[in-house]
């Protein structure tokens, strides 16, 4: 896989330098910070003329920096839900846009304490586009790829998780809900929502109140709002 852009490459050097095979730099651009970090970790560097660099980047905006890295590493779901400090699970049903997944990763990393669960079918996986949008967030948010999301949710419940479903209407306002932890939140596609077979596992349904136009939030924005509220309540519980 390839990483594109300064922030993505720097965060990978800081957190997982062994996963980097080589860093490419476009000639003529000052990149002293990258060079210093890479040399400390004995990471190979290669300077390329602009034409060759752009050819290798295949039209992607890179800020003159890209890296060859190992294939993305997915965490084991059973290990994740069994650990003592259980993260809040963001379970994504039929989310296919890599831009959305990248934004969800980045927001989750900023808030902290979240993990993302993806099904193997009818879902985007962590690809180069996702990593570019995430800007290094993949290094701080565990991501699991499960065969069956319904089975994964049932396993989580057996490990003590409560399950909430984020629905467009008829759910409780998350700011007024008394959330229980550890928590897993289900999010569905913008067009079809969460599949009924998954909603049936939810202990409660949550809906974002909207006083404005009768539209709906982009799924990445909805996840950010829900997760901010989750973080707020989680911090209150810790106090």
CATH number of the domain where residue 38 is located: 3.30.1330.30
C-alpha–C-alpha distance, residues 169 and 148, integer Å: 26
Phi, psi of 213 (to 5 degrees): -60, 150
Domain at 93, CATH number = 3.40.1280.10
Instruction: Identify the domain boundary among 39, 69, 99.
Output: 69
Q: How long a stretch of residues is the chain?
A: 239
Helix H segments across the chain?
A: 6-15, 32-40, 50-57, 77-82, 98-111, 128-134, 149-158, 196-199, 219-238
Give the domain-ending residue among 69, 95, 126: 69
Q: Which of 41, 69, 97 is the last residue of a domain?
A: 69
pTM of the model: 0.94
Domain coverage including residue 205: 77-238
Q: Which residue has the tokens 């476009």?
A: 26
Tens-digit pLDDT string for the chain (239 aa): 999 999 999 999 999 999 999 999 999 987 899 999 999 999 999 999 999 999 999 989 999 999 999 999 999 999 999 999 999 999 999 999 999 999 999 999 999 999 999 999 999 999 999 999 999 999 999 999 999 999 999 999 999 999 999 998 889 999 899 999 999 999 998 778 899 999 999 999 999 987 766 567 899 999 999 999 999 998 877 66
The whole-angstrom separation of Cα 179 and Cα 157 is 15
Shared domain check, 62 and 152: no
CA distance 81 to 181: 12
Domains in the chain: how many in total?
2
Structural contact between residues 116 and 142, judged by C-beta atoms closer than 8 angstroms: yes
Structure tokens at 214: 């009768």
- Residue for token pair 């295949």: 58
């Amino acid at each position: 896989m390839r990483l594109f852009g300064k922030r993505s490459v720097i965060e990978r050097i800081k957190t997982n330098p062994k996963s980097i095979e080589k860093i490419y730099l476009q000639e003529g651009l000052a990149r002293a910070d990258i060079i210093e970090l890479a040399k400390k970790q004995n990471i190979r560097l290669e300077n390329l003329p602009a034409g060759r660099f752009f050819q290798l980047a295949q039209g992607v905006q890179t800020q003159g920096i890209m890296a060859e890295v190992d294939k993305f590493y997915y965490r084991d779901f059973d290990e994740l839900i069994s650990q003592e400090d259980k993260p809040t699970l963001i379970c994504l049903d039929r989310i296919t846009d890599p831009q959305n997944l990248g934004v969800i990763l980045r927001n989750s990393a900023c808030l902290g304490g979240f993990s993302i669960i993806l099904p193997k079918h009818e879902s985007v996986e962590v690809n180069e586009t996702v990593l570019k949008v995430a800007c290094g967030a993949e290094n701080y948010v565990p991501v699991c790829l499960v065969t069956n999301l319904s089975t994964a949710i049932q396993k989580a419940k057996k490990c003590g998780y409560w399950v909430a479903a984020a629905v467009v209407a008829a759910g409780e306002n998350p700011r007024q809900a008394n959330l229980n932890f550890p928590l897993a939140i289900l999010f569905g596609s913008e067009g079809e929502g969460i599949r009924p077979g998954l909603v049936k596992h939810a202990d409660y349904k949550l809906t974002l109140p909207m006083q404005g136009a009768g539209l709906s939030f982009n799924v990445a924005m909805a996840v950010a709002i829900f997760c901010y509220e989750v973080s707020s309540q989680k911090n209150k519980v810790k106090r």
